Amino acid sequence: GAGVSQSPSNKVTEKGKDVELRCDPISGHTALYWYRQSLGQGLEFLIYFQGNSAPDKSGLPSDRFSAERTGGSVSTLTIQRTQQEDSAVYLCASSSSGTETYEQYFGPGTRLTVT
Amino acid sequence: AQSVAQPEDQVNVAEGNPLTVKCTYSVSGNPYLFWYVQYPNRGLQFLLKYITGDNLVKGSYGFEAEFNKSQTSFHLKKPSALVSDSALYFCAVRSNAGNNRKLIWGLGTSLAVNP
């Protein structure tokens, strides 16, 4: 079946512009996660959606970052007034449940470059 | 505080030799432990997990990992390495206690298998 998809695969933007990154999770997966991976670094948790519950936004680095999940499926991560330090690969993952015994399935990521 | 340590940034092994990628963790309560692999220019893939039960867990591509509670470790192993195993490996953990649903990720270990 189809895996997690993300778009665009690459995004180059100028400092100060807003960007939107899209994630399509695996159909039926109730949990969705956004991470950021900088070059040579591990995964940095950003935000977590589980069903209709309020999202866990504790990992968002600043108020320039926000995310939505519409209809319990597609999610959009928005970065306003981008800065050079926002350059990274943004990864989306989904799992079939919000419980932690279920593994997360990752998309290929969006490579964001802020010039 | 929960944490994961992958003490080796890089591991080099010869093809056909056994490989070990180390992971130690610190959590309150009982741990849920995961290994993921990231091949070059590809997304993260789930390898295996320990939730409960047998301390030796077998996963994809011939990998296995052994949960050692006394040493708080979950080292990844493979009896005979392949060149195609060269990739970045991540260990992740969370506790079964409390409401924190986020996985804590190690910084990754780069495995190079030499022909």
**Can you tell me which residue has the tokens 């270990």?**
B109
Per-residue pLDDT of B65-114, as tens digits, reads 999 999 999 999 999 999 999 999 999 998 776 666 678 899 999 999 99
Mutate which of B60, B101, B110 to test chain A, going by most A C-beta atoms within 10 A?
B101
Please tell me whether residue B60 adopts helix, strand or coil conformation: helix
Instruction: Give the chain A residue nearest B39 (alpha carbons).
Output: A108
Instruction: Please give the average per-residue pLDDT across A84-93, as a whole number.
Output: 96
Q: Is A108 on the interface with B (CB under 8 A)?
A: yes
Burial class, B98, CB count within 10 angstroms (exposed 0-12 / middle 13-18 / buried 19+): exposed
* A84, two tokens: 């050079």
Residues in chain A with CB shorter than 8 Å from the CB of B32 are 100-101
Per-residue pLDDT of A43-74, as tens digits, reads 899 999 988 888 989 899 999 999 999 887 99
Contact B105 A108 (CB under 8 A): no
Instruction: Please give the average per-residue pLDDT across B52-67, as a whole number.
Output: 93
Helix (H), strand (E), coil (C) string for B11-58: EEEECCCCEEECCEEECCCCEEEEEEEECCCCCEEEEEEECCCCCEEE
Strand partners, B82: none
Q: Which residues contact B109 (CB under 8 A, 6 or more apart)?
A: B6, B8, B9, B10, B11, B21, B22, B88, B89, B90
Per-residue pLDDT of B11-40, as tens digits, reads 999 999 999 999 999 988 888 999 999 988
Q: At B39, which amino acid appears? A: Y
pLDDT of A100: 56
Min distance A107 CA to chain B CA atoms (Å): 6
- Mean pLDDT in chain B? 91
